[in-house]
Amino acid sequence: MLSQRTITLVKQSIPLLANAGVEVTEHFYQRMFAHNPELLDIFNLSNQRSGKQQFALFNALAAYATYLDQPEVLTEAIARINHKHASLSIQPHHYPIVGEHLLATLREMFVHQFTAEVEQAWAEAYAFLADLFITQEEGIYRQAEQLKGGWRGTRRFCISKIVSESELVKSFYLKPLDARPVMPFQPGQFLAIQCRIPGENHQQIRQYSLSHTSNSQFYRISVKRDNLVSGYLHRLREGDELDVMPPAGDFVLRQTHVPKVLISAGVGITPMMSMLHTLAEQAFNQPLYFLHACRNPAQQSFQAELTSAAQSLSMLTIHTWMEENGNDLVCANNHAGRIRLAPLSTSLPLEHGEFYLCGPTPFMADIKQQLIALGVDNSRILYEVFGPHESL
């Protein structure tokens, strides 16, 4: 347990983290990568360049400090981070490294405010949080290992099939080289791919949502071509091999018997496809809405799969929105422009339904705002952020 004095000192210094500007976060990461370059094999350097991940850590620590005496407030947020970490195979020995550079950064950047006493308090608070993370992440590793077809760390997979889903998205079917079963996953979860790209100095790890139902033979991820790793994946061929980490993630379909609304934009459709196929397999008999936005018809993925899902799910209603060239397609359920929920409000299950969101952060923030304005309770709005988590 942390002493009252420690809690007070940590809380008093929250503004240092909450208001940490770019120069502080950059100092931290530059310091850490200079002393521990092996971590460059774990962190997503594209996120580093965009600065998003840099703030995620400091914001999380500021939130942790704020609720130091009410940790239950952060249970969900911590679980989300634990799943992200576990999917990347973060290990206990990484925690003291991050802790050391965090304290050193605060000491070096806030010479007057970050006194020896405050530093001692933060060292205790960080160790407390790190222990919690390590225990919870070990729980996720162990659970994955114990499931039939489960494993820990990386496992070698072969790309058994590649399917072009649209102009930008390709699906990769992955089968383990050892030909043993693969562990089950929950619709909405993702897995991480670890690869060495020719010409790059560091190994790359990226997480991709699973886009199919859980089965014991293969996984399917569907990847949009837009950066270093996805570009590399798009150049791979059937028969090529990849290192894969076990599925993880806490954005999952609830096993409840209430209406569900799956709302996605662009490649955010991927976890929704897994949810949709799973509901079809379970012969889900409650109202189900699949609302999807994309730029234009050439970028609309999974059209044939959606049509066949509609045939097996009698309660499914599909609506699509297109920003460009969608006018030709406008009919009852095809709309031009961005998703507007108000016109559908009389049919949507606003009072009891669950709303699942996935897509770019501004898109989800907008949809969440529309849902709240229509009276949907926050607890029934679930979402997944691709990339470092940003609060909506």
Query: Among 172, 181, 178, which residue's Cα sits nearest to residue 206?
Result: 172
Taking the complex as a whole, how short is the minimal distance between the CB of residue 95 and ligand HEM, in angstroms? Answer: 5
- Using CB atoms within 10 A of its CB, is residue 202 exposed (0-12), middle (13-18) or buried (19+)? middle
Segment contacting ligand HEM by CB under 6 A, of 79-87, 224-232, 248-256, 304-312? 79-87
Q: Which of 29, 64, 137, 384 is labelled catalytic?
A: 137
Residue 95 designated active-site: yes
> Could you say whether residue 61 binds ligand HEM (CB under 6 A)?
yes
> Could you say whether residue 85 binds ligand HEM (CB under 6 A)?
yes
Q: By C-beta, is 39 or 123 nearer to ligand HEM?
A: 39
Q: By C-beta, is 90 or 364 nearer to ligand HEM?
A: 90
Residues shown for the chain:
392
> Could you say whether residue 47 binds ligand HEM (CB under 6 A)?
yes
Taking the complex as a whole, how short is the minimal distance between the CB of residue 84 and ligand HEM, in angstroms? Answer: 4
For 117, the enclosing helix (H) or strand (E) is: helix 116-146
Whose tokens are 């961005």? That residue is 338
Helix/strand/coil (H, E, C) string of 339-351?
A: CCCHHHCCCCCCC
Q: Considering only residues 10, 68, 88, 364, which one is a binding residue for ligand HEM as defined by CB under 6 A?
A: 88
C-alpha–C-alpha distance, residues 4 and 10, integer Å: 10
Residue with the closest Cβ to ligand HEM? 389
> Could you say whether residue 293 binds ligand HEM (CB under 6 A)?
no
Taking the complex as a whole, how short is the minimal distance between the CB of residue 57 and ligand HEM, in angstroms? Answer: 5
> Could you say whether residue 84 binds ligand HEM (CB under 6 A)?
yes
Q: Considering only residues 80, 155, 224, 380, which one is a binding residue for ligand HEM as defined by CB under 6 A?
A: 80
> Could you say whether residue 95 binds ligand HEM (CB under 6 A)?
yes
> Could you say whether residue 357 binds ligand HEM (CB under 6 A)?
no
> Could you say whether residue 60 binds ligand HEM (CB under 6 A)?
yes
Segment contacting ligand HEM by CB under 6 A, of 6-14, 36-44, 168-176, 290-298? 36-44
C-alpha–C-alpha distance, residues 327 and 337, integer Å: 9
Handedness of CA 105, 389, 153, 171 (dihedral sign): negative
C-alpha–C-alpha distance, residues 264 and 356, integer Å: 8
Taking the complex as a whole, how short is the minimal distance between the CB of residue 71 and ligand HEM, in angstroms? Answer: 13
C-alpha–C-alpha distance, residues 347 and 165, integer Å: 30
Taking the complex as a whole, how short is the minimal distance between the CB of residue 284 and ligand HEM, in angstroms? Answer: 28
Contact 162, 154 (CB under 8 A): no
For 40, the enclosing helix (H) or strand (E) is: none
Q: By C-beta, is 40 or 158 nearer to ligand HEM?
A: 40
Segment contacting ligand HEM by CB under 6 A, of 80-88, 247-255, 313-321, 348-356? 80-88
> Could you say whether residue 206 binds ligand HEM (CB under 6 A)?
no
b/e per residue 7-44 (b: at least 16 CB within 10 A): bebbeebbebbeebeeebbebbbebbbeeeeebeebbb
**Residue 61, token pair as written in the block:** 């620590």
> Could you say whether residue 389 binds ligand HEM (CB under 6 A)?
yes
Give me the sheet containing 219-224, strands edge to edge.
Answer: 204-209, 190-195, 241-244, 155-164, 169-176, 219-224
> Could you say whether residue 376 binds ligand HEM (CB under 6 A)?
no
> Could you say whether residue 356 binds ligand HEM (CB under 6 A)?
no
- Residues that contact ligand HEM, how many (by CB under 6 A): 24
Helix (H, G, I), strand (E, B) or coil at 303: helix
Residues that bind ligand HEM (CB under 6 A): 39, 42-44, 47, 53, 56-57, 60-61, 80-81, 84-85, 88, 90, 94-95, 98, 129-130, 133, 388-389
Active site residues: 95, 137
